[in-house]
Every structure is written in C-alpha cells, then in structure tokens.
Amino acid sequence: MLILFQEYPVSVGRKVLPLALAGLVLGGCANSQQSPQTQSFGFATNGESAPPPAFRPASAPAPNAYAPRVDIPVGAPIVEFRSRTGPDIIGHTYLVFGYQGENGTIVEPDQIGLYPKDLSGFAVGMGGMAEATTEPVSLDISIPPSNVYRHQLTEDEYARLSAAAAAARANPPKWNWTRYNCNTFVADMAETAGMQTPAGGTLLAPVLFVEKLKSLNT
C-alpha cells in the first residue's frame, strides 16, 4: 500500500504544527492544491467551508465527463453517485438526487457528501473523528466527475433518501480517513434508499466505489 505525505503548517491552538496529509491509495476524500500559500483544499480562503454552489453544477455536469442516462422516464426520482479526482491524492465521492429532466439533466438537484469542515480536519481525522460538512466544496465544482452512476428510485425510496439527507445536514457525522469518510457516508445514504453497497467500501478509491456500487445495483 502506497502512502503519500506532504507537510503544511496548520495552527492548532497557540502552536503551529506540521500537518502530514496521508493519502492512501485505498481511501477517499482528500484534496489539495499545489502550494501552501494558495492552498484551499476546497474551502473558502478564510478557512470556513466554501458556500454551496448554484444548482447548475449538480444538474449539468461537464458535457465531456460522462454520457447521462436518457432511458429513465422524465420526471422519475433519481439519485446520481459521483466520484471526482483530486489535484494530488485520491478525490471525493458524493451524490446528487432529484428528478430526471429532459436530455438527461437533473431537475431540482440536491447535492450532499461528507468532507472535513476545515483544513485541520485532515490531521484530526488520522486518529480521531473530525468535524465535517455535508455541503458541496469548491473542488466539486471545478473538477468534473470521473465516474457517475445514475439510479432510478421509487417515490418511497426518494422520500427516505431526502429525509436521511436532511437529518445528516442537521447533524453531520464526524469524518475519519479510514473509519468514516465520504464513501461510508454515501453508502449509508444509498442503503437508506434500499440499495446494496460494496463491502469494505470505506477503503476504496472513490472511482472504484462508484463502479462497485453500480455493479451491485444494475
């Protein structure tokens, strides 16, 4: 197993400690930019979580990212699982749910995932449980999905998924590199909607997680 390390100065209380970002080849939800000075890790530059994007990125991903399913009836409830790469390590898994629109678009899209709430969470999450956000981060907008699986839901499944997403937003789970990360969160959401999820999915790279999720539910 390959582990990549890169150090960045992070303030913890009154001390400044080096943050060793351990990027496992198996394991999701890690992103970085090229230098500490311009580093954002998908967060706003003031250290707070980046604001949620407009609906456009969720409803209409980059046209060259994948071929959206057009065989699902227009108006049917759907959930779309997405993985994206990261500038350096692994990437991120998240989902978008809504209703099938014309030409494969998503109407009334709602995007949710799990990501450290701030940069220090990457250090805390190596051994402990870090505060997390369920809102989209900037890299979800700037990086097109690398793998996508769209799944049609029943109205009941959609209602259960919506309720689970609302509960997660009200009380976001804590994040850890290997115990509960973006894959684990997405798997929990999928199971709420009655779907099968990959065994050991927490330790899969996001692109493989989405691929295995697709193979289990098609």
Structural domains in the chain (count): 1
CB 178 within 8 A of CB 130: no
Q: What is the model's pLDDT at position 27?
A: 53
Q: 112-131: b or e for each residue (b if 16 or more CB lie within 10 Å)? A: bbbbbbbbbbbbbbeeeebe
Domain that includes residue 46, residue range: 3-217
Helices (H) and strands (E) in the chain, counts: 6, 10
pLDDT for 152-210, tens place per residue?
A: 999 999 999 999 999 999 999 999 999 999 999 999 999 999 999 999 999 999 999 99
Six-digit token pair at 150?
A: 């769209």
Torsion region of 47: left, alpha or beta (phi above 0 gives left; psi -120 to 50 gives alpha): left
**pLDDT per residue over 41-93, tens digit each?**
444 334 444 433 333 345 444 344 466 777 899 999 999 999 999 875 679 99
pTM of the model: 0.76
Q: Give the tens place of pLDDT for each residue, 144-166.
A: 999 999 999 999 999 999 999 99
Please count the other Cβ atoms lying within 10 Å of the Cβ belonging to residue 110: 17
- DSSP code at position 76: -
